Amino acid sequence: VPMATKNSSWSFPKGFWWGVASAAYQVEGAVKAEGRGPSIWDALLHRVTGYSVANETADIADNQYYMYKQDIARIAALGVNTYSFSISWSRVFPFGNGQVNQLALDHYDDVINTCIEYGVEPSVTLYHWDLPLYLQNSYGGWPSSQIVDDFVNYAKVIFSYYGNKVPRWYILNEPIAFCYDYPLPDNYFGANKEIPTWQQPYWCGRHALLAHSKAYHLAKSLGINGTISFKNNGGYKIPLTNSTEDAKAVERAWDFFEGWFANPVFINGNFPEALKSFFASFLPDFTDEEKQMINGTSDVFAHDAYTAEFYFAPKGGVDACVQNISNPYWPLCFGSTYNNPASAGGWVIGAVADPLSPWLHKTTEWVPAFLHFIADKWKPKGGIAITEFGFAEPFESVKTNKPDIVFDSIRSSYYKEYLEGILIAIDEGVNVVGCLAWSILDNLEWRAGYGSRFGIHFYLIK
């Protein structure tokens, strides 16, 4: 991995998108305002004890539904050229489909217009995990094929209404996360009962690809001329040892995570071979028509890349595990470690409060290698955008001390080194078209509640 070398004469290419990001559910608050319907996350955080670490909710969050003008003014004052935010589906369609809520369309119209007035280009994500609760409860959400038409119907309203005011679109945020990382609690009342729990992530992934690609083609047919991309996510994968088995585990992990969506969208409309053989016993193949529809539906390779992690083979090796394909825990054919192995030179661990894994490290030295890897493996024609990167600073004392200014020195060096890594990759010939810092404000970090602070603006939430 090349080390960042300083060269102060370097600069980002002309037209580079240089922005900050957020997502509707994490910043808006106003969950009952102006006709918004509930999303699954309202139900999870309000009704499932312990789903977020301290049972915090998004009811108020950053109040951005009301404060967006101030927030956009701050973004403009930072000097960045784009703001990436998402639209809440259950504001626009309180029941997921059916009656459109005009107040919601007016609201986002004003958000978009305010960005434009300030010279900040709006980047819009249609879906950042906040599924209308009604769709979860009526047919079980993403594992059901019914989601596809409902999503495309929603996408049609959004693309038609805002059209060419928006230069960059992301259709779905991180299906790996909403399909695989956040399974609904067992016996959750809106859960799909027809599909075994262990299969649900993969049905969700199948429908995500169909919904994404249909929405992509629909937007193109409506004459949308902004870039429209698939927003994937995942960290850089490093073998724990130099054994052949650990190298295989890394390859399997690329297939299983990024490749699950990036192979269909960028290579051939279909899953990587290892996934195909895993899926064979329960998931229908895509038809040739579907493959054709899915392939090529991303104008840039949009990737949310925060960290790196080590992968290793299970006991008995990767292939022995894969042969046991009936094992629903197939992902365990590779393991990952969040420890801080001395071989990595001692990574600084991010202060995330997620209940399941301390997934974040300050590992900026891999950035050029990761960008090369994406360029070589998926060969995106429109280049690569890092659509989220950021770091959670530990702020143990702020709640009691309530300082006016907090110094986020670890995050600052993360950003500086990450950007140096991007410059190095650009200098080495990788086409990187933009990057978006997560996040503009501290916000509701899903299961971590307000316990993880990614904001470059500190928000004294409590």
Residues binding ligand GBH (CB under 6 A): 23, 26, 173-174, 177, 181, 233, 304, 306, 354-357, 359, 388, 438, 445, 447, 454
Give the nearer residue to ligand GBH in terms of CB position, either 290 or 354.
354
Give bridge partners of residue 438 from the DSSP assignment.
21
Does residue 174 carry a catalytic annotation? yes
- Between residues 23 and 87, which has the closer beta carbon with respect to ligand GBH? 23
- Active-site pick, 56, 121, 174, 393: 174
Task: Give the residue with the Cβ less far from ligand GBH, 317 or 451.
Answer: 451
At residue 205, the 3 state secondary structure works out as helix
Cα first-last separation, the chain: 42
Smallest separation, CB 163 to ligand GBH (Å): 26
Determine the Cα–Cα distance for residues 456 and 266; give it in Å rounded to an integer.
Answer: 33
User: Residue 405 in contact with residue 348, Cβ under 8 Å?
Assistant: no
CA dihedral 144, 149, 154, 156 (to 10 degrees): 150
Radius of gyration of the chain (CA): 21
Closest CB 448 distance from ligand GBH, rounded Å: 7
Is the CB of 304 or the CB of 420 nearer to ligand GBH?
A: 304
| Burial (CB count <10 Å: 0-12, 13-18, 19+), residue 49 | exposed
To ligand GBH, the closest distance from the beta carbon of 460 in angstroms equals: 19
Q: Which of 38/350 has CB closer to ligand GBH?
A: 350
At closest approach, how far in Å is the CB of 449 from ligand GBH?
A: 11
Quick one: which of 355, 371, 416 has its CA closest to 390? 416
Which tokens hold the place of 411?
């995050």
Type of residue at 193: K
- Collapse the DSSP code of 250 into the 3-class scheme (helix H, G, I; strand E, B; otherwise coil) and give the result: helix
| DSSP, residue by residue, 151-209 | HHHHHHHHHHHHGGG-SEEEEEE-HIIIIII-PPPTT-TT--SSS-GGGHHHHHHHHHH
Q: How far from the centroid of its chain's Cα atoms is residue 121's Cα?
A: 20
Packing angle between helix 200-221 and helix 146-162, nearest 10 degrees?
30
- How many helices and strands, by DSSP H and E, does the chain display? 17, 13
Q: Which is nearer to ligand GBH, 214 or 447 (CB)?
A: 447
Least separation in angstroms between CB 307 and ligand GBH: 8
Q: Which is the catalytic residue, given 290, 388, 393, 445?
A: 388
Nearest-approach distance from CB 28 to ligand GBH, in angstroms: 13
Which positions are annotated as active-site residues? 174, 388
